[in-house]
Amino acid sequence: MHLSDMTFGKEPNKLAEVINFYNKTKVGVDCADQMIETYSTKFATRRWPVVLFCHLVDIVPLSAYVLFEKLKVDGARVEKHRQFIKRLGKGLCQELQEQR
């Protein structure tokens, strides 16, 4: 995608086109990483399937939260990410609790 040797900025702070493009587009990734890291399920393990599973468990609530906020399901009020995760967890466990 970036085949030219173009640079941006003044002489002491020149940035290559690739770095400039990355800096402009990385904000969403950094924000998502920060939100995932705040409420993470990661723990130390050497088994890669467990690491993959924990990573998926971290990403899914954020994706659900983003969709929930964009769609405003059932005219719901705006809630914080933490409150959404708590409600999601309780909703997922409710059926198992009722079976007991």
Which helix (H) or strand (E) segment holds residue 7: the answer is strand 7-8
Longest dimension (CA), the chain: 69
Question: Would strands 15-16 and 7-8 be described as parallel, antiparallel, or unpaired?
Answer: antiparallel
User: What are the boundaries of each domain within the chain?
Assistant: 15-99
Per-residue pLDDT, averaged over 85-98, amounts to 84
Q: Is residue 54 within 8 Å of 42, Cβ to Cβ?
A: yes
Cα four-point dihedral sign 5, 8, 11, 16:
negative
Give this prediction's pTM: 0.58
Q: pLDDT tens, 37-79?
A: 888 888 888 999 999 998 898 888 888 888 887 877 666 666 7
Q: Can you read off the two tokens belonging to residue 54?
A: 């924990």
